[in-house]
Amino acid sequence: MAQLGGGFWRVGHGREIELGSTAVIMAIVNVTPDSFSDGGRYDSVDKAVAHALDAVQAGAGIVDIGGESTRPDAESVDALEEQARVLPVIEALRGRTEALISIDTYRAETACLAVAAGAHIVNDVFGLQKEPEIADIAAKTGAGLCVMHTGRDRDKLDDVIADQLLFLERSLEIAGRAGVARDRIVLDPGFGFAKDTRENLELMARADELQRLGFPILAGTSRKRFVGAVTGREAAERDAGTAATSVLLRLKGAAIFRVHDVAINRDALAVTDAMLKARDVFERKGTS
């Protein structure tokens, strides 16, 4: 089992969140009509805000607001439509919760406006390699930055970890050149993004190898297609399978878990964290 790193993720507006002995849950709030498992459920400001506050009550420390579906073959929306969906939600949440607010976007303009509206974190599913200006925005505002790996629109290496390192090191170079501080960055291996079932399972099995990069890891497996391939479940029925992946990735050292169903993952991760704490106490006794 991987060792869990400590420390703080420093994010925008003078905030930070501890990453260490307790797993952090990032709740997914899709303000979209077409996301793969909950499209249309939270496609108004009131519904999205209520869902986000429910997620915080259930145990989420971060709420991730997205205005464009990233499922395969989803129709793209323009920046103005994306902003019309997400900015009112961020503005409404800013004064109603102490949870951190994340904007799920690959557009620099949306990221800039979202941080100004109150978002603490920018979550870029193209890892700064579609619009590198996002790194400049994070550096200028002090926003936290989630850098995700993707296999979309590029040729991949055969080895899943070698491809992770190739892509993420390039993203980290972009962040470094822009002046983003290391303690503002977390990495996401991008489960499901142009990865088949075998690749996703191998990536889970080897996720601890990503710790060589020296950054906290965010795991986003929730309701993904590979969970359905293993369990035989449709998207809305994959929360138990997702919780299993959360436990396994926590044992591999992941610190943050981006999920649809907060409660089931919170409980699964609470048991995992309790076991890890007991293991650490036992190991300390054994060496004393």
Q: How many helices (H) and strands (E) does the chain have?
A: 9, 10
- 184, 195, 225, 258: which is the annotated catalytic residue? 258
Cα separation, 225 vs 203, whole angstroms: 15
CA distances from 166 to 129, 150, 157, 187 (A): 12, 11, 9, 13
Residue 199 is given by DSSP the state H
- 85, 224, 250, 266: which is the annotated catalytic residue? 224
224 is catalytic: yes
Instruction: List phi, psi (to 5°) of 258.
Output: -95, 115
258 is catalytic: yes
3-state class (DSSP) for residue 8: strand
28 membership: H or E segment, kind and range: strand 24-30
Instruction: List phi, psi (to 5°) of 103.
Output: -105, 125
Residue 124 is given by DSSP the state E
CA distances from 48 to 34, 90, 143, 171 (A): 14, 10, 22, 31
Q: Which residues contact 285 (CB under 8 A, 6 or more apart)?
A: none
b/e for 61-88, b at 16 or more Cβ within 10 A?
bbbbbbbbbbeeeeeebeeeebbebbbb
With vertex at residue 187, the alpha carbon angle to CA 183 and CA 188, rounded to the nearest 5 degrees, is 155
Catalytic site residues?
A: 224, 258
